[in-house]
Structure 1
Amino acid sequence: MMNLQLKISIFLCAFALISIAQANQGGALSVDTSAGKPVWEAGVFSAAFRGPIYPAATDYQNKFLPLPFVIYRGEKIRIGDESVIKAIAVEKEHFKLDVSLGAAFNADSEDSKIREGMPDLDFMFEIGPQASFLLHDNKSSDTWLNLQLRSVFSTDFSNVNHRGYVFQPEVAYQSENLLFDDSRFYFSVSPTFASAKTHQYFYDIDQQYVNSERDYFQSSGGYLGTKVSIANRFQLNKNLMMFVGTQLGLWHGAKNDESDLYQEKFTYTVALGIKWTVFQSIEHIK
């Protein structure tokens, strides 16, 4: 049977990645997009993902995630709707201040030739403030600049380790019914800059792990890479939503590209999922 730590890891990763299913990873939403939605809903979320085991890695892993979900849309606290948990500090027509979160799957080093014999990569999560500025808005689409500063942590669910900080400015565009009726299209570009501790977790090679394919390397902080995200969600009926998405990793010019653990200048992540709402409140957001 699946051990408890793995269950928790899968659950938390999936919960964080529900934001992809909602076609919004950076908060690029007009303040009135919840209007007409139920105050709460619950059901089943299932998704399949394929992506690199860490930034600029050659090796990929697949994840399939079936799990229940709960969404709550409060005035100041929102859970599971366009984010994991969002605390709204300021929400105006052209400016928002709230919380930004991120997550990444854990990975076994034995599944990667270049990392063989090195410690596994733990489940990672990020949290920090986000300031969003509306750049363009019309009836069916909007564009936001999201300034995100997050603290990075890794955990094997017995210990939690701080892994530095990331600064991720993002330009995010979304449009209703751009490609199909009852759909939402999402596109964003987000260069990422990280502290030395974050880079070290991915690219450091200590002397004890040096071999014929890995030379000693110490990382420094700076530019990590740029992520380009494209997603589209489809409302198939009142209770069933499907999403498809991809995230392109552009790692050219990264600060630590001389590390032997830096392998690819381009990577991709793809996702396909279904959200089935089984229960929902009678009361709706006005």
Structure 2
Amino acid sequence: MNQLLSKLCAFIFLFTLMISAYANQGGALSVDTTAGKPVWEVGVFAAAFRGPIYPAAADYQNKFLPVPFVIYRGEKIRIGDESLIKAIAVEKERFKLDVSLGAAFNADSDDSKIREGMPDLDFMFEIGPEASFLLQDNKVSETWLNLQARSVFSTDFSEVHHRGYVFQPEVSYKRENLLFNDSRFYFSVSPTFASAKTHQYFYDVEQQYVNAERSFYQSSGGYLGTKVSVANRFLVNKNLMVFVGTQLGFWQGAENSASDLFQEKITYAFALGVKWTMLQSSEHIN
């Protein structure tokens, strides 16, 4: 029973991290982000996703994810408000030091023709520091340079494996009310570089898995690919927010494009989510 409870807690934590990683793409502007908002909120976030099972894969999968959320907006610490945990003490007007998050769903290798008979891909999560520099700022938009370095892990909820490191510089643009009132539009370009251990998880073919369609292959570290993300979120009312986003992956020139598991030079991903606030504090941020 204790083991089952531990796995359930890990499952909820990982998916909460995933929601934070995805939802942060439509994040609020750093100017006046908390004024007028309740000190805490409790509710449910539900989202549907479609995307490739790993970078440069030809096979896609669909996922639906409902998870509870808790948001706390303290003077020094914020939880669930544009990031999993944020220390406000290190935030300045034109510079922020935050926690960078990333995540990916698991995949059954037997659902992929090229990976059939190989080990399944577990849930993946990434976490590490992020230094952000404000490049452009006015009343309705911001442009940021985000330098992100993350450690990569995979888990089947019984054990966790370290899968190397990624470095992901990103230029992001955010604008209020571009398409709708009470909305925030987001656009970003983020090239990704990863250690050999990270590439190996996606593209290695060990001798025991060699067949007519897969040759033996050992990956090396380097350029993984570039992601271009577009997202928009808007408020239906004070308790209901809708998020929609798409992401193109450009994998041309990737370090391990010679692997037979590297199949597509361009992939896409899509996400649609709803955030419903069920309870909130009567006290609001001034």
**TM above 0.5:** yes
Shift in Å, 1:86: 2.6
Name stretches of at least 5 consecutive residues in structure 2 with no aligned partner: none
State the distance in 1 between where 2:14 and 2:89 align. Answer: 24
State the distance in 2 between where 1:24 and 1:78 align. Answer: 17
Q: Which amino acid aligns with 1:141?
A: S
TM-score scaled by length of structure 1: 0.93
Structure 2 residue aligned with 1:80: 80
Per-residue deviation, residues 205-231 of structure 1 (Å, max 9, x unmatched)? 000100000000000000000011100
CA contact (8 A) 1:50 1:270 kept: yes
Runs of 4+ in 1 over 6 A off after TM superposition: none
Q: Which amino acid aligns with 1:162?
A: H
In the TM superposition, 1:135-150 aligns within 5 A as 135-150=135-150
Shift in Å, 1:76: 2.9
State the distance in 2 between where 1:19 and 1:32 align. Answer: 21
Cα distance change on mapping 1:98 and 1:88 into 2, 3 Å = farther
CA contact (8 A) 1:13 1:105 kept: no
Shift in Å, 1:160: 1.1
CA contact (8 A) 2:17 2:103 kept: no
After the TM superposition, which of the residue ranges 138-147 and 12-21 deviates more from structure 2? 12-21
Identity of aligned pairs, percent?
79
SS of residue matched to 2:252:
coil
Structure 2 residue aligned with 1:232: 232
SS of residue matched to 1:120:
coil
Shift in Å, 1:20: 2.9
In the TM superposition, 1:190-229 aligns within 5 A as 190-229=190-229
SS of residue matched to 2:237:
coil
State the distance in 2 between where 1:99 and 1:35 align. Answer: 22
CA contact (8 A) 1:20 1:231 kept: no
Structure 1 residue aligned with 2:281: 281
SS of residue matched to 1:197:
helix
Cα distance change on mapping 1:227 and 1:238 into 2, 3 Å = same
In the TM superposition, 1:160-179 aligns within 5 A as 160-179=160-179
Structure 2 residue aligned with 1:12: 14
Structure 1 residue aligned with 2:180: 180
Per-residue deviation, residues 43-92 of structure 1 (Å, max 9, x unmatched)? 11111000111000011111111222111122332222112223345111
Cα distance change on mapping 1:74 and 1:16 into 2, 3 Å = farther
After the TM superposition, which of the residue ranges 160-169 and 81-90 deviates more from structure 2? 81-90
State the distance in 2 between where 1:153 and 1:200 align. Answer: 13
Shift in Å, 1:102: 1.0
Cα distance change on mapping 1:89 and 1:154 into 2, 3 Å = farther
State the distance in 1 between where 2:218 and 2:119 align. Answer: 16
Shift in Å, 1:7: 8.4
CA contact (8 A) 1:13 1:104 kept: no
Cα distance change on mapping 1:279 and 1:22 into 2, 3 Å = farther
CA contact (8 A) 1:21 1:244 kept: no
CA contact (8 A) 1:190 1:226 kept: yes
Shift in Å, 1:11: 5.9
Find out whether 1:252 has 2:240 as its counterpart: no
Q: Which amino acid aligns with 2:90?
A: V
RMSD between aligned residues: 1.8
Cα distance change on mapping 1:209 and 1:156 into 2, 3 Å = same
After the TM superposition, which of the residue ranges 194-203 and 88-97 deviates more from structure 2? 88-97
CA contact (8 A) 1:109 1:117 kept: yes
Structure 2 residue aligned with 1:21: 23
In the TM superposition, 1:112-151 aligns within 5 A as 112-151=112-151
State the distance in 1 between where 2:203 and 2:188 align. Answer: 26
CA contact (8 A) 1:23 1:185 kept: no
